[in-house]
Amino acid sequence: MKELYKTKVSAVGGRNGTITSEDGVLNLEVRTPKELGGEGGAYTNPEQLFGAGYSACFVAALNLIAGKKKLNIKPKVSATVGLLKAEVGFDLSLKVDAEIEGVDRTVANELLQEAHNICPYSKATKNNIDVKLNLL
């Protein structure tokens, strides 16, 4: 495979620290949410960051497929990420809610499935995370 892009993001302090991309564009404080015993506040956390990456990548996959089919769509994708207590450690759950304007529901469902098959995040989580797709 030919590598098209790569980036490096570093974390210091885990759930109560900072994350920084090598180009400096991403430079955020990370904090444990109140639900997990932290102080919360106006900070991000790993689950939000995963959901942001997943939803953005999934929209790109939808747009790629629609473009190849010459369909004009306006997709919006939300990723709900859950942190689950596992027998050992933790697991993630993921629900993908998609709105796809510009096509009927049958075509939208086909696009949703095709995007799930090519999205790098979907491929990376296949057989690792229970992903529920939901067409709104």
What's the pLDDT score for residue 130? 87
Distance, in Å, from the CA atom of 50 to the CA atom of 91, rounded to the nearest integer, reads 13
Give the distance from CA 45 to its chain's centroid: 13
Q: In sequence order, which residues have a C-beta less than 8 Å from that of residue 55 and are 6 or more positions away?
A: 77, 78, 79, 96
First to last CA, the chain: 35
Average of per-residue pLDDT across 47-61:
98
What's the pLDDT score for residue 31? 97
* Domains, the chain: 1-44 (2.20.25.10), 46-135 (3.30.300.20)
pTM, full prediction: 0.94
Compute the C-alpha angle 30/31/36, nearest 5°: 140
Could you report the per-residue pLDDT of 80-134, keeping only the tens digit for each?
999 999 999 999 999 999 999 999 999 999 999 999 999 999 999 999 998 999 9
Compute the C-alpha angle 124/128/134, nearest 5°: 80
What's the pLDDT score for residue 40? 86
Average of per-residue pLDDT across 50-54:
98
The three-class DSSP label of residue 109 is helix
What's the pLDDT score for residue 67? 98
Q: In sequence order, which residues have a C-beta less than 8 Å from that of residue 90 and are 6 or more positions away?
A: 83, 84
